[in-house]
Structure 1
């Protein structure tokens, strides 16, 4: 079955794990499988189809992480102080909750909004500062196996300090300051807009999944994009990676041909440069939190041809897209 990105898996850019901001730390921080008492006490419920105990997954605190200090408010770039160089003998990863936020505890399956500062543990050199400005980092879905060691079940508004050893001779140890800014909903949250006459109509079920009804009329002659909800987040720029949900149907018969909602209702990341023209037009220039309807001509979809059931050529395609996050390529691949 054809899809809006022919297929999505081909262009899917995985949500970069937090440690990917420093490539050397990926194996240590996210794949180390360490667990222990990270200072969290709650055991929040699962969400997004992902289950597990984030509290138990959190890395344990230790003398090194406890001794790290960071000035500045949560959500602003911190100034770090710690004894340099870090003693990495026997160190895997230590995690200390520096500031406990007053928000809800994180749950497995949450898409977490965060900011991160990463510092060389030997020299104190700042290697990366990301997420302090909207549109720099995509929300990351966490589970006990992916990101759980870092985030645990900390509350929104918390600041975490982590120290980790790596296998990279250039940066044998790293210090992280992680600010937990929020949890991204898995459906668009923007302000509803008035419907436009002549376009397909959209209704949402309790989960936010859209049903698209095609009007009894000829397909639109031009690709048309309208906002069903207008969000208040960052603007999607050309080339951005976008976290989204979507459903696509044919104008010719109203049948669905692809949908994240039919695959568990879990958002996926896509690059605006990795989708067909009509889908790209529906993303770029929109704001995070928006829900967009696009009716795309064959020219902006899969080209002209005789409409049939085996491919999408010749058919006008209609998508409803929830835009949940965006990140520039430069920020997403920060060192």
Structure 2
């Protein structure tokens, strides 16, 4: 490739940047016995659905275990063993597995997978066998006082175990809740690029990808021309460089980071981080990283070129797509970077 690469975007961080024009953030409504605020399930004494006060656990912070409860299993698929019946006590919470991702902040976004069990019977109180991950804000109003107290500072990739009393049909029982804090940046392994280089790199200055030991991935435009490069900023956001010259005329996509989740299928609801630029000018049209939170979108809601590029890709992947006008907005050749964080729908929940 000849000529100097143009750095189409500096680090896109949550601190600021363009306003996204992508799909609106949609957070699923709280479900009986599985509200993010850990509300109780069942009618109260007055016939209404009861909710616990979700008082934050007392003490200096979460413990390392919850008496009478053990948990195992992969993120999003916890296996819980309860020494039933659990005695009714004050709320207790434990970070049973600590991740190594971004630390959550009060008022900031979190991608949470929540499952609950009845501490008296040991039965699942989650609707259905699996509940899709949901986007939330770390606040009392969105996740309840218990989690709002615990989550700030907890790294993504962590697992939290909570037991607290709830009112079920007029009687107090302990509810056991497992909260998996899922990553909001693609966490798979760097994919091998067409040139054999690692699929992600660190950035140097804010203006361009660095040429450090892990170079940004390079590809081609599908017709032998040089394709965009993708590096990784300190906050995990992509840094894109667009080569000089004309863009490819056909849809071109490649995996920059290879996830290890199940594959994306038609009809699913996705949780995504996205960055969209204009090939010709490098203008950032939208960025969830700049907005400060991922977004949700149905596969069928995506622009045709992006939809075709994401189908059969694995959850946890970062995908680079060059979308010609006919498969995008009808006017621009778009360069789109997508982190596929979660997918749900169909026969099972996919993470």
Is this a same-fold pair by TM over 0.5? yes
Equivalenced residue count is 275
User: 1:243-283: CA deviations, max 9, x gaps?
Assistant: 2211111223222211112223x222222122211121232
After superposition, give the CA deviation of every residue in 1:213-263 in whole Å (9 maximum; x if it has no partner): 332232222212101111223322222222221111122322221111222
TM-score normalised to the size of structure 2?
0.62
Residues 1:173 and 1:319: Cα distance change in structure 2 (over 3 Å)? farther
SS of the equivalent of 1:253 reads coil
CA distance in 2: counterparts of 1:239 and 1:295, whole angstroms: 23
Match among 190, 212, 220 for residue 240 of structure 2: 212
Q: 2:138 aligns with which of 133, 138, 143?
A: 143
Residue matched to 1:22: 32
How far apart in 2 are the matches of 1:76 and 1:23?
18
State the partner residue of 2:289: 261
Residue matched to 2:113: 114
Q: Considering fraction of residues, name the structure with more helix.
A: 1
SS state of the match for residue 81, structure 1? coil
Question: SS at 1:101's partner residue?
Answer: strand
Counterpart CA distance in 2 for 1:131 and 1:112 is: 19
CA distance in 2, matches of 1:301, 1:196: 21
Using a 3 Å threshold, how does the CA distance of structure 1 residues 94 and 285 change in structure 2: closer, same or farther? Answer: farther
| 5+ long unaligned stretches in structure 2 | 1-18, 41-49, 194-217, 221-225
SS at match of 1:299: helix
- Structure 1 unaligned spans of 5+: 43-54, 56-65, 87-92, 303-312
Matched, 1:239 2:267: yes
For residue 76 of structure 1, the aligned residue among 79, 96, 100 is 79
Instruction: Report the Cα offset of residue 104 of structure 1.
Output: 6.3
Match of 2:150 in 1: 153
1:224 maps to 252
Aligned-pair distance for 1:25?
A: 5.9
Q: What RMSD, in angstroms, separates the aligned Cα atoms of the two structures?
A: 4.2
User: Of the candidates 171, 182, 192, which is equivalent to residue 190 of structure 2?
Assistant: 192
State the secondary structure of the residue aligned to 1:219.
coil
Q: What corresponds to 1:62 in structure 2?
A: none
> Over residues 100-146 of structure 1, what are the superposed CA-to-partner deviations in whole Å (9 max), with x where a residue is unaligned?
5152698433635434135598x9864436787xxx52254451322
Provide Cα deviations, 1:184-214, integer angstroms capped at 9, x if missing partner: 3332222223231321222333223223333
216-225 vs 171-180, greater mean Cα deviation? 171-180
